[in-house]
């Protein structure tokens, strides 16, 4: 598993403007020219104030990403939790995150320029 490194990589994903939102997570995605997917994680102290909780959430997100990474090839993803992820709701978080990863890959994998080339129906 590769990770997004540096502010430029994160800025490029955010600038692509392709996001998928659930109740617990928001994912931003962008196609890349690499054969593998990369993950970036952004967690605000407003959402998870304790470092232990933030680290648990990061581990959970990395684990779900690692399990789904074979189907996500060629995509950069930045994940943001929208509400606290604890051990009590970890199972629901895993299910939602895996569904959002599939949806983000499906919706954001095609370059934006390809949409401009599609014929417009009247």
Question: What's the alpha-carbon Rg for the chain, to the nearest Å?
Answer: 15
Q: Classify 88 as helix, strand or coil.
A: coil
Share of the chain above pLDDT 90, in %: 60
Query: What pTM was estimated for this model as a whole?
Result: 0.83
**Contact between 97 and 59 (Cβ < 8 Å):** no
pLDDT band at 58 (very low <50, low <70, confident <90, very high): very high
């Amino acid at each position: 598993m590769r990770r997004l490194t540096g502010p430029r990589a994160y800025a490029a994903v955010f600038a692509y403007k392709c996001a998928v939102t659930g109740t617990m997570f928001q994912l931003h995605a962008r196609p890349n020219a690499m054969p593998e997917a990369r993950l970036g994680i952004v967690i605000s102290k407003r959402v998870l104030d304790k470092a232990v909780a933030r680290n648990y959430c990061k581990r959970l997100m990395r684990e779900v990403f690692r399990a789904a990474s074979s189907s996500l090839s060629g995509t950069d993803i930045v994940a943001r939790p929208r509400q606290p992820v604890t051990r009590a709701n970890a199972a629901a978080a895993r299910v939602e995150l895996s569904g959002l990863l599939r949806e983000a890959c499906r919706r954001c994998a095609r370059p934006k320029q390809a949409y401009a080339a599609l014929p417009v129906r009247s």
